[in-house]
Structure 1
Amino acid sequence: MQEELFTSGRNIPNIDPSLQIWHWPISLYLFLGGLAAGILFFAALFYILNKEKTYPTAVKIISVVPPIALSLGLLALVYDLNHKLYTWQLYTTFRIESPMSWGAWVLLIVTPLSFIWTFSYYREVYPGLESKLKLFQKFKFLNTFEHFIIKNRRHIAYALIPLALILGVYTGILLSAFNARPLWNNAILGPLFLTSGLSTGAAAIILLSKNTAERHLFGKIDLALIVIELALIAHMLMGYYAGSQVQLEAMQLLVGGDFTVMFFGFVVILGLIVPAVLELMELKGYKVPVIVPAMLVLIGGLIFRFVMVEAGQLTRFLY
C-alpha cells in the first residue's frame, strides 16, 4: 500500500473536482461563427468597394457558406444545451453586460441576413439550379422579394460589416468573460479570435476562387492576418508570463503541458507559420497548390478553438 501525504486540500488529482461542461459542439460553433464572420465581412466590404465583378468569389460565390456555417453552428450549440426547449427565453431580454446576450442577438440578425445575401445572388450564381427547380415560376412573390433585396443590397452590406466584426470578436469575448478560468481571462482573446476568423474566411475564399488576381489579393490579406495573429498569440503568452501564479500554471498547459503539441505543432507551426511561408512563396512567383495553405489555415483555426476551449476548462483560481 502506497502512502501519500497531502500538504494542501486544493488541487488534488482525482480528488478535487474538475468541471468540464463545454465539449466539441462549442468549439465547432466558435469556429463556424468566426468563419462565417470573416466571409461576410469580406463579401460586404468588397461589394461596397464596387469590386463584385473583380472578386466574384468573395462577394457572390462563397456567399453560400455563411448561412450553412451559421446553421450548423447553431445546431451544434443547441445540441450542447441541456434544456433545448427553453432556448427561446434567451431572446426575451437583452443584457448589455452579457457577452452571451450580445452573441445571441447578433446571431439572430446575422443569420437571416446571410440567407438574404445568398438569395440575392441565387439566380446569377446558380442559373442551372434555378432552371431545374423553377422556384421563381412557382412562387411569383420571389421576383418582388429579389428585386427589393438587390435594390437595398448596399444597405445590407453596410449593416453586415459591423455585425460580422461583432460576431468575430464575440467568439473570443465569450471565453474571456469567464474570469474564473485563468487561461480564458485574457483581453487578447477577442481580437485574436476575430483575426483568426478573418483569416479562415480569406482562406476559404482562396480555396474556392478560380481567379488568379483574387487568389493573390486574398493571399496577401491572409498573410497579413497570419502575421497579426502570431503577434497576438505572442502577446497573449507574454501576458500569461507577466500574470499571477495561476496564470503561469494555466499557460503551462500550452507551453510544456498536455496541449503543447496541439497548440504549437498544429496551430502555430502547421496552421500559421507554414501557410504564411507557402503564401509568401506563391506571391514571389513559386508554384504552390493553393489548397495546401488554405486547408492548413482552416484546420489550424479549428484546432485552435478546440485547444482553447478544452485547456481553458482545466484551469482555475486556487489562491
Structure 2
Amino acid sequence: MQEEIFVSGRHLPKIDPNLEIWHWEISLYLFLGGLAAGILFFTALFYLLKKENEMQATVKYATIIAPIALIVGLAALFFDLSHKLYFWQLYTTVRITSPMSWGAWVLLIITPLSILWVFSYYRETYPKLEAKLQTFKRLKFLNTFEKFLIKNRKTMAIALIPLSLILGIYTGILLSAFNARPLWNNSILGPLFLTSGLSTGAAAILLFTKSHFERTLISKIDLALIFIELALIVHMFMGMYAGSQVQLEAMQILIGGSYTVMFFVFVIILGLIVPFVLELTEILGFKVPIIAPAMLILIGGLIFRIVMVNAGQLTRYLY
C-alpha cells in the first residue's frame, strides 16, 4: 500500500495531475510536423547550395511528403480540439511568448508554401499529370503560375529555411512550456525534437533517392543527427538526475517505469542505434537495404513522441 500526503486540493488522483488530455492525435501531429520540417529544411538547403541536379530526390521528389504530412497533422490536431469552431481565434493575435501562437502562424505560412514548392516541379516530377492538365484549355493559366513559382524558387527556399527550423523546434518547445509537467519542463526538448525531425526527414528522403551520391551524403548527415540526438537524450537524463526529487521521479518513468521498454527498446535501440549501425555499414561499402534503417528511424521517431507525450502527462509536482 502506497501512502501519499496531499498538500493541496489539486493533487487528487484521477483529477490532477493524472488528467490525461493529450492522446494519439497530438503525438501524430508532433511527428508529422517534425518530419515535414526536416524534409523542407534539406530541400531548401540543397537548392540554395545549387545541388538540385545531384540531389533530385531531396529537392524534387521527397517534397511531396511535406504538404501531405502537414495536412494530416493539422487534421489530427483539429480532431483533438474540444471547441473546433473557435480555432480561428488563434489568428486574431500574435503572442511572442506563446509557443502555440508561434506554431499556428508558422503552420499557416509553411503549409501553402510547401504545396507551392511541389507544384513548381510538377511538370518534371509528374509528366503524366502535366499532360492531362494540358488537355483542359481552361487550366492553361497554370503554366503562367508555374513560371512565376519557378522564378521565385530561391525566395521560397530562403523563407523555408527559418520556417522549417522554427516548426521543428516548436514541436519540442510546445511541451517544454508546460511547467506543471516535470518530464517536459526542460530546455533540451526543443533541440531534441528539432534534431529528431531532421533525422526523420533525412530518413524519408532516403526512401526516394536512387542516386548513390545522394544516398551516401544523406546517410552521413543522418549519422551525425543520430549521434547528436543520442547526446541530447543523455544530456536530458543527466540534467534530470542532477535535479530535484520531482525530476528524479519523472525520470523513473523512462528508466525503470512503465515506459522503459518502449523508450529504450523501440526508440534508443531500434530507432537510433540499429539504424546508425546499418547506415554506417552502408557507407563503409557493405550492401544494406536502405529501407531498413529509414523505416526504423521513422517508426522510432513516432514512438519517441508517443512516449514523451503520454509519459509526460503522468509526471507531477507533489513537493
Please report the TM-score for the alignment, with normalisation by the length of structure 1.
Answer: 0.96
Contact 2:195 2:229 in 1 (8 A): yes
Give the equivalent residue in structure 2 for 1:95: 95
Give the equivalent residue in structure 1 for 2:229: 229
Contact 1:199 1:297 in 2 (8 A): yes
Relative distance call for 1:33 and 1:16 in structure 2 (3 A) is: closer
> Gapped runs of 5+ residues in structure 2?
none
Following superposition, the deviation at residue 132 of structure 1 comes to: 2.8
Q: In structure 2, what is the Cα distance between the partners aligned to 1:15 and 1:107?
A: 33
Contact 2:17 2:316 in 1 (8 A): no
Q: In structure 1, what is the Cα distance between the partners aligned to 2:313 and 2:20?
A: 6
Q: In structure 2, what is the Cα distance between the partners aligned to 1:279 and 1:5?
A: 47
Q: Secondary structure at the match of 2:304?
A: helix
Give the equivalent residue in structure 1 for 2:59: 59
1:167 and 2:167 are equivalent in the alignment: yes
Greater shift in the superposed pair: 168-177 or 121-130: 121-130
Contact 1:99 1:170 in 2 (8 A): yes
Contact 2:6 2:318 in 1 (8 A): no
Give the equivalent residue in structure 2 for 1:291: 291
Give the equivalent residue in structure 2 for 1:115: 115
Greater shift in the superposed pair: 4-13 or 49-58: 4-13
Q: In structure 1, what is the Cα distance between the partners aligned to 2:277 and 2:227?
A: 11
Contact 2:17 2:315 in 1 (8 A): no
Following superposition, the deviation at residue 138 of structure 1 comes to: 3.0
Q: Secondary structure at the match of 2:182?
A: coil
Contact 1:37 1:165 in 2 (8 A): yes
1:212 and 2:212 are equivalent in the alignment: yes
Q: In structure 2, what is the Cα distance between the partners aligned to 1:123 and 1:214?
A: 22
User: Which residue of 5, 9, 12 corresponds with 2:6?
Assistant: 9
Give the equivalent residue in structure 1 for 2:277: 277
Amino acid at match of 1:199: S
Relative distance call for 1:285 and 1:15 in structure 2 (3 A) is: same
> Gapped runs of 5+ residues in structure 1?
none
Following superposition, the deviation at residue 37 of structure 1 comes to: 0.2
Contact 2:17 2:314 in 1 (8 A): no
Relative distance call for 1:67 and 1:247 in structure 2 (3 A) is: same
Give the equivalent residue in structure 1 for 2:254: 254
Contact 1:136 1:143 in 2 (8 A): no
Q: Secondary structure at the match of 2:315?
A: coil
Greater shift in the superposed pair: 100-109 or 206-215: 206-215
Following superposition, the deviation at residue 134 of structure 1 comes to: 3.4
Q: In structure 2, what is the Cα distance between the partners aligned to 1:50 and 1:143?
A: 24
Contact 1:44 1:157 in 2 (8 A): yes
Contact 2:241 2:248 in 1 (8 A): yes
Following superposition, the deviation at residue 213 of structure 1 comes to: 1.0
Q: In structure 2, what is the Cα distance between the partners aligned to 1:63 and 1:136?
A: 26
CA RMSD in angstroms comes to 1.5
Contact 2:223 2:279 in 1 (8 A): yes
Amino acid at match of 1:302: L
Q: In structure 1, what is the Cα distance between the partners aligned to 2:137 and 2:220?
A: 43
Which string of whole-angstrom CA distances, capped at 9 and with x for unpartnered residues, describes residues 197-241 of structure 1? Answer: 000000000111111111111010100100000000000000110
Q: In structure 2, what is the Cα distance between the partners aligned to 1:177 and 1:202?
A: 27
Q: In structure 2, what is the Cα distance between the partners aligned to 1:158 and 1:16?
A: 45
Q: In structure 2, what is the Cα distance between the partners aligned to 1:24 and 1:270?
A: 21
Amino acid at match of 2:182: P
Which string of whole-angstrom CA distances, capped at 9 and with x for unpartnered residues, describes residues 143-174 of structure 1? Answer: 22111111011011001000000000000000
Q: Secondary structure at the match of 1:36?
A: helix
Following superposition, the deviation at residue 8 of structure 1 comes to: 1.7
Following superposition, the deviation at residue 133 of structure 1 comes to: 3.9
Contact 1:136 1:142 in 2 (8 A): no
Relative distance call for 1:291 and 1:247 in structure 2 (3 A) is: same
Q: In structure 2, what is the Cα distance between the partners aligned to 1:35 and 1:201?
A: 5
Amino acid at match of 2:25: P
Q: In structure 1, what is the Cα distance between the partners aligned to 2:135 and 2:114?
A: 19
1:241 and 2:261 are equivalent in the alignment: no
